[in-house]
Structure 1
Amino acid sequence: MDSLPLSDWYSNITGSCGSSNVSYGLKLREIPDQVINFWSSLHPAFPIRNWENVDSWVYWPIIGVLTLCITYITSTVQFHKVMNSNTHGTLREVPVVSYWVPGLFHAFAFLDPARFLLKIQKTFESDTPLQLKAGPSRFFLYRNSEHIKAVFRASKRTTNKSTTLFALRNLFDLPKSAVQLFQEDDSGTGLRPRKESKTSPENRINYLVTHTSREFLSSDYLEDMNRRYMSILLRHLDTFDVQSEWVEFSDLHEFIQQATIRPSVEALVGSEFFKLNPEFDKDLFIFQHYIPDFLHLLPRWLIPTAYRVRRRLLQSIKRWHQHAHNHYDCSRYGPEDPNWEPYFGSKLMRAREHYSLKISKMTPDARATEDLGLIFVATINVVTSIFWFVFEALKDSKLLARLDKEILMSSTKGRTEPDIKGLTSQPLLQSTYAEVLRLYSALVVSRVAEYGDIQVADYHIPKDGYIIMYSRSSALDHQAWERAGRTLKKSLEEFDAERFLVDPDWVRPSLSGVHDKKAPTEDPNTTLSKKRFTLDGLLGLWYPYGGGDRICPGRHFAKHQMMLTFAMLLAKFDFELTGTDTSKVLPNMRFAPFGVLPPNGKIPFRMRRKASI
């Protein structure tokens, strides 16, 4: 019934184009005539019958509203048609969620992607993937945990190049020549290039970035990185003018930033960096505030401060590059070379600089952008996670005491010399770490079918289609967590430091949904010391680092940084929250879905240096 009037409108328009006897204004009036006639046929009580007497300023808005309504009705019918047809056949089509505006589809909703994706999760109870569109771009939202696992398993048939480039270009200002380099690289990220690839070995930028990060953030270098970071952190904490008397501070988040950004950056890029750029950390704090604005593509004239700060950050990186090259050879990152030196810092930074110098399109500006991006993702999310770790412990004195007990168990040589392996293996510390990332991170993990049509979890994904998964939707999916065999003592909207602890004999439910004998129950008499930490069964529900072949290579170092920093802060200082209604401290959703969410306001506290360590 809908298609006939639409066809009539088009035939009336095209059929009258050649007529010289009818004025252009009359031709346009034929369009609303057809709409009104159609709408009147559906609604006999439709109020406007004498359409020729209606002024143009009235009927054009009516035409617009009716067009939106008809679009929504037809798209809803089509949505349910596809949903019902997916019960037949093996390869299924992903239904398009109903929309109002033809051509733009869901584009306006994507202006607030976090709210839109959560609304989708609440509106559609079915686990079927859903298709969202913004102009020509097509997004396939996967929500079911088993489907998300399938997406991660399909990583070799997808890329995340487009989304990475979006961030590099719009957040860090990657030059167009380097953007072209990344785009033209069709070789993949594997050791061997794709058979269809035409990219020369030296220009395999996506492989070089991925491979270098995996190699130099691996377990072979992790222990040295942990020790280096802890040493720098302890030295930096001694610079704070806090003695045995209580000192008031206005904001815990700001203090954590001041305490941890410099050690994080120095452990990565060397001690010479802050000698050249003493204000870099302050600029990084300011830059963090404007992340949503950059990623929402706000122009320079609306946020001039943000663009100025970004320019200063890039100039700082270029200044450091030049200074480091004047004093050290970046090609020295072999087995016999030091893991860390003061000019380039870690082997990771030397290796990145070495391969970049061989690529003509990796200009000094491009190299600065790439390294700013690495420094940013290696610090900001971790630092904000450390804040939430400390804040949640300070909120609950019993939790703080239990965490401190685990730290002491790992500190046989003294509180500032913990056994790092033992510390990062403690069950409650690990569970608290995992819960912080579950509740306070909100990111869209994406994959792109770059090389052709693919099939993921029995659904068809066309070439250049974006597969997206929203971590916060998964983190708050009560039914899915219960299916995974987890007992929810507290709502998923609340913080529960023990959420990832299970009884010693706990086993995950089978994929068929039949639980093993002791999987769904928990013994209330099991003491904390006997419980163990596990992420079993949660791959499609807990993925703050992504998953599959493209999982974050720095995840182990990030985990250790969080725990080490918490342990060293407790070793050096006593903390107390002051005058804060902790129930009002919430994550700032303005920063969703771009990573770990900062708090929505300032959290006053006081601290004093411990009398003895």
Structure 2
Amino acid sequence: MTMILLIVLIFSIPIATYAITSIWLRVKLRSASGLPPSVPYVLPLIAHTPTFASGSDTLANALRRNAVPGAALRFKGIGFNFVLLSGADFIRKALSTHHFDWNKISAPLFVGMFGGPQKIKDALAKDDSGIGVKPYPGSDVHPGRRLMRNQIVFFADAFSKTSMDALVPIFILQMEDWCSKSNVISEDWVEMPSLYLFVRDVLFSSSVEALFGPNLLGLNPELAKDFWEYDDSVGFLALGMPNWLKPNAAKARSRVLEALKRWRRNAVNNADPAIAEDAAWNPAWGLGAIRRRNKLLDATEGLFDEDGRASIDLALLWSMTSNVIPASFWYLVEVLGSQQLQNRVLSEVDREIGPAIAGHLPKFDPATLTNNPLLQAVYAETLRLHIATLITRVVKKEHTVGSWLLAKGQDVMVASNVEHMHPQWDSTGADGDHPATDFWPDRFLTSPNGSSDKATFSLDGRQGQWIPFGLGEHLCPGRHFAKQEMIINAVVMLATFEMELTTPEGWRPANDFGRYGFGTQHPKEKVSFRIRRRRYD
């Protein structure tokens, strides 16, 4: 009898727990106020740990299934306690305030993902000064160790108009040079097994040379191989799990860090002294802002030694390649996968830059391309469908969003994939209905005076809905370069080559949610294609 009662008790606890949390959730949603309730779970303490540990489709489905627009719902488990916010107005009101910070969440990520030393993690976790010119009230962080503010200063320099005016032409030159010199692609069709790997190889070398100069790849010929092996394990590294569980992950990260150290030593020792420190770009350092950032690092009272500087260099390298490169692949897949869209895009490409002459593209204005309505619409729709970012913040000061109370120290999360798949994106065009799951760039195009007028690109009314780069004061600083990189890559490729998918008509690869939460998703299946140099009459 005792054993039977024990078994009944063991099985009753999960059932009771789920019932209680379900009832409490319904009560709280009706009142829509107070502390956020928990999403129902079965086992106390463990709660939602299995869902978050599984990641991938399990986590994606759980967030989509439970999110309630205008509500704050809690997911908790071993080592985490997040409040999920959903709904455009709700997200906009929440993340547009100055009551959130990112330091405590980003500190362990800096160690896990980028191999940052423990002393930098500790300093980053203590940096409660915010990102403004003046420290957040009550903060006593040393001025030199305002690490979050230093990031803003660096990115403001790195992506200023002066820097972009130097960076973008070098990127274009590297892309055109690769395309013109490739001896694999001729005027005859060449079959290739993976469009993703093709785009990845071209863009990685072009981006790295534009950002870091020629020496990073020149000194480290195996960098691309090591970097993508490292990138495949970023999710594991971010969790801070013991290295012995996946030793190749830490080894790949170490090889990339060593490559960055070699590059930095070379830059310090061999930079041309005749090039002014305020130059936008120079061969040894690449983007001039990277060189100038050394002054910020020198002012941190010895916090950034060689290891620390390699870690922030890796953070920059990863942030400027790992998401925009797969996004550029998706841009091409979506264009090539629809003959109608491909014809429209090619028409815009020919109109904007004209045909190649003797195999070389004429000079073109990057700003004109990136302001083209259709090319922008394809870019925006690509990010909507293929980015899955978990935007995380920490509440710095107790406050309310709507009627929900967010306590000081509470971790808050917004899932871009949840918002981007919401029925708010369902649209209707001349060709019929287009649900949120459809790729339909025309949802971003408007014709103010009727359908006969030329359409314009618009994100009006989409604040809090379209959030591939986040929202608020921590909005991704590299978003403008990423946009140019995606559009320019597509234009140069389509203007130089004829490309055709060799997959079944209408087929698209699925998003591989193995990187769920870290930005652009990789394709779940290979996309075969054929390519030849474009012929002009």
Matched with 2:425 is: 481
From the superposition, tell whether residues 551 and 266 of structure 1 become closer, same or farther in structure 2 (CA, over 3 Å).
same
Cα offset, 1:364, TM superposition: 1.1
- Which whole-Å CA distance do the structure 1 matches of 2:126 and 2:91 have between them? 28
Matched with 1:399 is: 341
**In terms of mean alpha carbon deviation, does 434-443 or 271-280 score higher?**
271-280
Question: Helix, strand or coil for the counterpart of 1:267?
Answer: helix
Instruction: Check conservation: 2:512, 2:521, Cα contact below 8 A.
Output: yes
1:112-511 alignment runs, 5 A limit: 112-113=54-55, 115-123=58-66, 127-135=70-78, 137-154=80-97, 156-241=98-183, 242-328=185-271, 337-359=278-300, 360-411=302-353, 415-449=361-395, 451-478=396-423, 480-481=424-425, 489-505=433-449
- Which whole-Å CA distance do the structure 2 matches of 1:169 and 1:259 have between them? 29
> Rg bigger for which structure?
1
Deviations 1:46-89 (A, max 9, x none): xxxxx23x3xxx76554332222222222223323333343xxx
Instruction: Check conservation: 1:446, 1:466, Cα contact below 8 A.
Output: yes
Instruction: Check conservation: 1:580, 1:603, Cα contact below 8 A.
Output: no
From the superposition, tell whether residues 568 and 124 of structure 1 become closer, same or farther in structure 2 (CA, over 3 Å).
closer
Q: Tell me, yes or no, if structure 1 residue 554 matches structure 2 residue 487.
A: no
TM-score (norm 2): 0.92
The runs of 5 or more residues in structure 1 that have no matched partner are: 1-50, 506-522
- Which whole-Å CA distance do the structure 1 matches of 2:296 and 2:420 have between them? 39
- Which whole-Å CA distance do the structure 2 matches of 1:136 and 1:585 have between them? 34
Matched with 2:12 is: 66
Tell me which amino acid in the other structure corresponds to 1:78: W
Cα offset, 1:194, TM superposition: 2.2
The runs of 5 or more residues in structure 2 that have no matched partner are: none
- Which whole-Å CA distance do the structure 2 matches of 1:485 and 1:571 have between them? 29
Instruction: Check conservation: 2:190, 2:530, Cα contact below 8 A.
Output: yes
RMSD: 2.6
Question: Helix, strand or coil for the counterpart of 2:353?
Answer: coil
Cα offset, 1:412, TM superposition: 5.7
Instruction: Check conservation: 2:51, 2:62, Cα contact below 8 A.
Output: no
From the superposition, tell whether residues 112 and 540 of structure 1 become closer, same or farther in structure 2 (CA, over 3 Å).
farther
- Which whole-Å CA distance do the structure 1 matches of 2:92 and 2:431 have between them? 22
Q: Tell me, yes or no, if structure 1 residue 569 matches structure 2 residue 513.
A: no
Deviations 1:462-481 (A, max 9, x none): 11111111111111111x33
1:25-36 alignment runs, 5 A limit: none
Question: Helix, strand or coil for the counterpart of 2:523?
Answer: coil
Instruction: Check conservation: 2:226, 2:252, Cα contact below 8 A.
Output: yes
Question: Helix, strand or coil for the counterpart of 1:301?
Answer: helix
Instruction: Check conservation: 2:328, 2:489, Cα contact below 8 A.
Output: yes
- Which whole-Å CA distance do the structure 2 matches of 1:160 and 1:481 have between them? 29
- Which whole-Å CA distance do the structure 1 matches of 2:430 and 2:14 have between them? 44
Runs of 4+ in 1 over 6 A off after TM superposition: 329-333, 483-488
**In terms of mean alpha carbon deviation, does 553-562 or 390-399 score higher?**
390-399
- Which whole-Å CA distance do the structure 1 matches of 2:426 and 2:528 have between them? 37
- Which whole-Å CA distance do the structure 2 matches of 1:124 and 1:453 have between them? 23
Tell me which amino acid in the other structure corresponds to 2:410: G
From the superposition, tell whether residues 370 and 484 of structure 1 become closer, same or farther in structure 2 (CA, over 3 Å).
farther
Deviations 1:105-154 (A, max 9, x none): 22222123463353343346563221222246421111111001012211
Cα offset, 1:431, TM superposition: 0.3
Matched with 1:516 is: none
- Which whole-Å CA distance do the structure 2 matches of 1:407 and 1:455 have between them? 48
Cα offset, 1:328, TM superposition: 2.5
Question: Higher strand share goes to which structure?
Answer: 2
Instruction: Check conservation: 1:143, 1:474, Cα contact below 8 A.
Output: yes
- Which whole-Å CA distance do the structure 1 matches of 2:158 and 2:168 have between them? 13
Tell me which amino acid in the other structure corresponds to 1:476: M
**Of 92, 109, 112, which aligns to 2:51?**
109
TM-score (norm 1): 0.81
Cα offset, 1:584, TM superposition: 4.9
Q: Which has the higher contact order (CA 8 A, sep 6+)?
A: 2
**In terms of mean alpha carbon deviation, does 373-382 or 117-126 score higher?**
117-126
From the superposition, tell whether residues 376 and 124 of structure 1 become closer, same or farther in structure 2 (CA, over 3 Å).
closer
- Which whole-Å CA distance do the structure 2 matches of 1:488 and 1:125 have between them? 28
The number of residues matched between the two structures is 530
- Which whole-Å CA distance do the structure 1 matches of 2:50 and 2:371 have between them? 45
- Which whole-Å CA distance do the structure 1 matches of 2:497 and 2:491 have between them? 10
- Which whole-Å CA distance do the structure 2 matches of 1:198 and 1:488 have between them? 59
From the superposition, tell whether residues 610 and 85 of structure 1 become closer, same or farther in structure 2 (CA, over 3 Å).
closer
Deviations 1:269-302 (A, max 9, x none): 1111111111111212222222233234443233
Instruction: Check conservation: 1:330, 1:353, Cα contact below 8 A.
Output: no
